[in-house]
Structure 1
Amino acid sequence: MDDQPDLQRDRARPTNSADVIDLREYKYAKDPLPVTFHRRELDMILWIYGRMVGEGEWKDYALDHLRDVAVFSVFKRSGELPLYQIIKDPRLANKQGAFSVVNTAGKVLKRGQDLKQVLKVFDKVLKLVET
């Protein structure tokens, strides 16, 4: 078993290490890589996720890396619709911001360039309780 991808090779001509490959053609011939969360972005998201799991608010998550967007979905129960989706859409980076938090109804709760600021939508406001 080989970890290298299957390559279509011409069986009549042996592969020579001196063969020249135009990297521009190779780059554009392949499908683009999916959008992903970088390590620091995922660390910030998982820190919020861990806090909310500890508070009993969230129970499960799903991570999708698609061609155009990366989506981190959080669930109260695994069989339901996601409570929130944290979306990274690089196409919007120069417009509204690449990061957004969307609720179950599809309403954008917060959007921006800085993921740390966008995730502040999950910060709870402490209220003074009189006894």
Structure 2
Amino acid sequence: MTANSPTPFTAPYTDQVSFDRKELGVILSLYGRMVAMGEWRDYGISSLQDLAVFSVFRRTAETPLYRIEKRPKLRNRQGIYAVVGMEGQVLRRGHDLAAVLRVLERKLIRPVD
């Protein structure tokens, strides 16, 4: 193989959207509290070309209960972050991840009997 020929294992570079360390810290903090309550049991992360998705599951084989999405193209519009419910409805959208995730934290507050 010569120095100018491409290697057979390289793919063209494509930009993918992903959560950074700080964003994952905020998300996993909420995830850990919900797991401790028994509400959530599994998660999945997808990094796609135009969005990143953190999906939350009650059981592994189900459809996600919630999707936390990051869409950089919406930075100047509704907001880069969104929480989407099981049926596809947008529960909250905004520019601040912690503020957007507050819609899910209401499950952490339980009435005292």
Instruction: Give the structure-2-normalised TM-score.
Output: 0.85
- Aligned AA (1:85): R
Q: What's the offset of the Cα at 1:128? A: 6.1
- Partners of 2:35 and 2:91 lie apart in 1 by 20
Q: What's the offset of the Cα at 1:88? A: 0.1
- Aligned AA (1:46): L
Q: What's the offset of the Cα at 1:32? A: 3.1
- Aligned AA (1:107): Q
Partner SS for 2:17: coil
Unaligned runs of 5+ in 2: 6-11
Shift in CA distance, 9/49, structure 1 to aligned 2, threshold 3 Å: same
Q: What's the offset of the Cα at 1:127? A: 3.9
- Aligned AA (1:71): V
Hey, what does 2:63 align to over in structure 1? Answer: 81
Q: Confirm whether residue 61 of structure 1 aligns to residue 56 of structure 2.
A: no
Q: How many residues align?
A: 104
Q: CA RMSD in A?
A: 1.8
- Partners of 2:3 and 2:17 lie apart in 1 by 27
Unaligned runs of 5+ in 1: 1-6, 11-29
- Partners of 1:8 and 1:108 lie apart in 2 by 51
- Partners of 1:65 and 1:91 lie apart in 2 by 15
Shift in CA distance, 62/9, structure 1 to aligned 2, threshold 3 Å: same
Instruction: Say which structure, 1 or 2, has more relative contact order (CA 8 Å, 6+ apart).
Output: 2
- Partners of 1:43 and 1:61 lie apart in 2 by 14
- Aligned AA (1:95): R
- Partners of 1:80 and 1:126 lie apart in 2 by 25
Instruction: Give the structure-1-normalised TM-score.
Output: 0.74
Q: Confirm whether residue 46 of structure 1 aligns to residue 41 of structure 2.
A: no
Match of 1:104 among 86, 91, 104: 86
- Partners of 2:3 and 2:60 lie apart in 1 by 42
